[in-house]
Amino acid sequence: MTGKRTMTLNLTDAEMSALEELSARKDLNKTAVLRQALRLYQLIEARVEAGEKLYFESETTREKAEVMFL
């Protein structure tokens, strides 16, 4: 947990723009946004691997749409 490693990230304009937008919306710096994304990605993968499915549910219609993962 204590050791930190540095990585250089090459992003397209669109990706950087998305990152900046998320950073503002979530009140996080860009590094924190990416670390959060990594957490979520790993967690979702682990749960799908364990046999669970991820859905979006419409608040109004209560319809479910599965989020497909490879």
Partner 1 sequence: MSVNSWVVYLFEVESSQLVEAELRDAILEDQLEDWENHWQPELWSAMLRLKAQGVWPVKQESAHWNWQDKIQSIRSLLAYRTFCITCGGMTQGMMQVDLTKSARIESQKGKPIVYIDYLENAPWNRPTLNNPARYRNVGTLLIRAAIELSRAEGFKGRIGLHSLPQSNNFYASKCGMTDLGPDSDCQNLRYFEMTIDQARSFLEVPKE
Instruction: Give contact residues for partner 1 (rule: CB under 8 A).
Output: 1-3, 25-29, 31-32, 35-36, 38-40, 42-43, 46
Q: Which is nearer to partner 1, 18 or 46 (CB)?
A: 46
Helix (H, G, I), strand (E, B) or coil at 8: coil
Distance CA 31, CA 37 (A): 10
Distance from the Cα of residue 35 to its chain's centroid: 9
Q: Which is nearer to partner 1, 11 or 46 (CB)?
A: 46
Helix (H, G, I), strand (E, B) or coil at 53: coil
Q: Which is nearer to partner 1, 17 or 29 (CB)?
A: 29
